[in-house]
Amino acid sequence: MSMAVFLQQLLANPSLLIAAILTLAVILVNGWTDAPNAIATCVSTRAIGVRSAIMMAAVFNFLGVFVMTSLNASVAMTIYNMVDFGGDAKSALLALCAAMTAIVIWATVAWYFGIPTSESHALIAGLSGAAIAIQNGLGGISLVEWGKVLWGLVLSTVLGFGMGFFTTRLTEWVCGGMNRCKTNGFFRKAQVGGGAAMAFMHGAQDGQKFLAVFMLGVALANGQAQATSFVVPVWLMAVCSLVMALGTSIGGYRIIKSVGMDMVKLTPYQGFAADTAAALCLLFSSLTGIPVSTTHTKTTAIMGVGAAKRLRNVNWGTVKELVLTWVLTFPGCGLISYLIVKLFLYFFN
């Protein structure tokens, strides 16, 4: 689908216009709550300035979406097929719009308090809550695809922490006898590469998820409630990346502070270790088609980096706030989505 054709459809179909606006709003929110995690460590250690980091993140988010979607779109298909809103395309589109509204509400509240909530978890919770509401039960939930989500939770926690711990110890062992001033200069430059790798993998993971939702909205607006596959146009990948970058520039500093400064005080080599560990975890997850949270993976990697030195290096008060938010996201965002679906169906169906 060309951009011109899509714009014509937007003007001719108000339902598609509303769905597109809400989906872009969710992508914008992802930009100010989730995308900053990719560049948090390299900004907090002053390896790169905030503006330059945001521009870098925009470019590599796009490359991550483009390359990974072209090579392996399994993450997108997992999200696309996770829920079934039923055969009525009009009601299904209302449910999708309600889910997007719930995600924006949940993420905005978390951002206000400076807590890096996971938009991946919010997306999954919002879609699931909407499917339960419209189907009046669990019939609209794909247990197979949800199983991948649960595996992703375990993987991002255990592998993120373990890789952060191991990468830090390995770096300390390799560079233990070297001049600290020289290695600091090297690691500051290497962190820019690490931040770029994280932004690339954020696009590969989260970019795919939101593109899948966008294409689901297009299918439903065109009456195709049973569509099971899609092709993502390049222009849509670019729009997704630009909207994410705009979100990061608007409100990303709160999250950068929470993740890169408040949780663990990082030195350049520790920041490099955290970025490397998280990027490798996200790469493995993307290649295997497991949807994981960029926020979850990056923060657990940072915890592992801090714990490699000593456990008290980690600000466990901040960690407690993060974990509580992750735990509450599924029931909280899911319930908000459920209630909004019921409200939308009552007034608009």
pLDDT digit string, tens, across residues 213-238: 888 888 887 777 666 666 778 888 88
Distance (Å, rounded) from C-alpha 266 to C-alpha 131?
42
Q: Taking the C-alpha atoms of 262, 292, 286 and 107 in order, what is their torsion angle to the nearest 10 degrees?
A: -70
Per-residue pLDDT of the chain (349 residues; tens, 9 = 90+): 788 888 888 888 887 888 888 888 888 877 776 666 677 777 777 777 777 887 787 788 778 877 777 766 666 667 767 777 776 778 888 888 888 899 888 877 876 766 656 777 888 888 899 889 888 888 878 877 777 777 877 777 788 888 889 998 888 888 877 777 778 778 888 888 888 888 888 877 777 777 888 888 888 877 776 666 667 788 888 888 778 777 776 755 555 655 545 556 677 888 888 888 888 888 888 777 777 777 778 888 888 888 887 766 666 666 676 677 777 888 888 999 999 999 988 887 6
313-324, pLDDT tens digit by residue? 666 666 676 677
pTM confidence score: 0.76
Number of domains in the chain: 1
Q: Do 205 and 286 touch, CB atoms closer than 8 A?
A: yes
Which residues sit opposite 83 in a β-bridge?
A: 141
Q: Do 254 and 117 touch, CB atoms closer than 8 A?
A: no
The residue among 28, 207, 33, 15 whose CA lies nearest residue 97 is 15
Residue 227 CB coordination number (10 Å): 15
* Full residue range of the structural domain in which residue 134 is found: 3-348
Distance (Å, rounded) from C-alpha 190 to C-alpha 268?
9
- CA angle 288-289-292, nearest 5°? 105
Length of the chain equals 349
Phi, psi for 139 (deg, rounded to 5)? -65, -20
Q: By CB neighbour count within 10 A (0-12 exposed, 13-18 middle, 19+ buried), where does 236 fall?
A: middle
Distance (Å, rounded) from C-alpha 129 to C-alpha 44?
36
Distance (Å, rounded) from C-alpha 280 to C-alpha 263?
21
Collect all residues with Cβ–Cβ distance below 8 Å to 234 and sequence separation of at least 6.
66
- CA angle 336-338-340, nearest 5°? 70
The residue among 123, 120, 83, 118 whose CA lies nearest residue 103 is 123
Q: Do 294 and 205 touch, CB atoms closer than 8 A?
A: yes
